[in-house]
Amino acid sequence: MSAAFPAAAAAIVAAGRRMDALGWVPATAGNFSVRLDDRRLAVTVSGRHKGFLTPDDVMVVDLDGVAENPAQRSSAETLLHCGIYRRFPEAGAVLHGHSIANTVLSRAGGPSLTLAGYELLKVFPGLPTHDASVDLPVVENDQDIARMQRGLDALWDAMPEGMGAIPPGYLIRGHGSYVWAPDMPMALARMEGLEFMLRCALEERSLR
C-alpha cells in the first residue's frame, strides 16, 4: 500500500462527512477520489453511505479502473474519475455529488448551463472577478460509463486551450455533478461554490 494512501483515505472520509452534512450525497450516492501517483488513485468502494465512511471504505485502482485488490469493488463511475486524472495532470482530487439543485437544473435541457455574475465564480481558475461567466457542460446520462467517458473526451478535445477554457467540472443530466482540483480542500471549495451558484440559479427560476 502506498505511503500516500492513509492521508488520501482520511481526506476522502472527511469529504464524505462534509458533503453528507450538506445533503449532497443521499443514500449511497456520490463517489470521491484522490490521486496517489501518476498511475493510481484512491477511490470510494461501491455501495457505501458517504456520511459514514471509514478508511476501509476506500480502495486503490489504476488509471484504467482496475482494482489493486480484486476482492474490492469500486463504483462503475470510477472510470469517470480515471478519465479526469488522465486528461488533467493538475487534478489531484475528484468529487461527485447528487444535490437537488444540480439534478433539477441539469434536466432543464441544453448542452450547457451558464453561470454568470456570481461572486463565487472566482472559485474556478482564470476568473478573478464576479464579472465573468462559465458554461458548465451538461452531458447525457448513460449506463455505459466507458461510452460516456469517450463523449467527455470528445467534448474536451473540442474546447479551446488555456486556463479556464475547460471548466473543472460538469453535470450529468438528471444525475449529479463532478468537480476536480489540485487537492481535496480545493475540490471541496469548488463543489461548495458550484452548488451555491446552482442553488441561486434554481431559486431565481422559481421567482420568474
Q: Which residues are annotated as a binding site for Zn(2+)?
A: 96, 98
Report the distance separating Cα 154 and Cα 150, nearest Å: 6
CA angle 145, 146, 152 (to 5 degrees): 90
CA angle 194, 32, 88 (to 5 degrees): 75
Strand partners, 153: none
Distance CA 56, CA 45 (A): 9
**Identity of the residue numbered 166:** I
The amino acid sitting at 9 is A
Alpha carbon distance 65, 121 (integer Å): 32
| Orientation of helix 145-158 relative to helix 78-87, angle to 10° | 30
CB 63 within 8 A of CB 41: yes
Contact 52/41 with Cβ under 8 angstroms?
A: no
What is the widest separation between alpha-carbon atoms in the chain? 54
Annotated binding-site positions: 96, 98
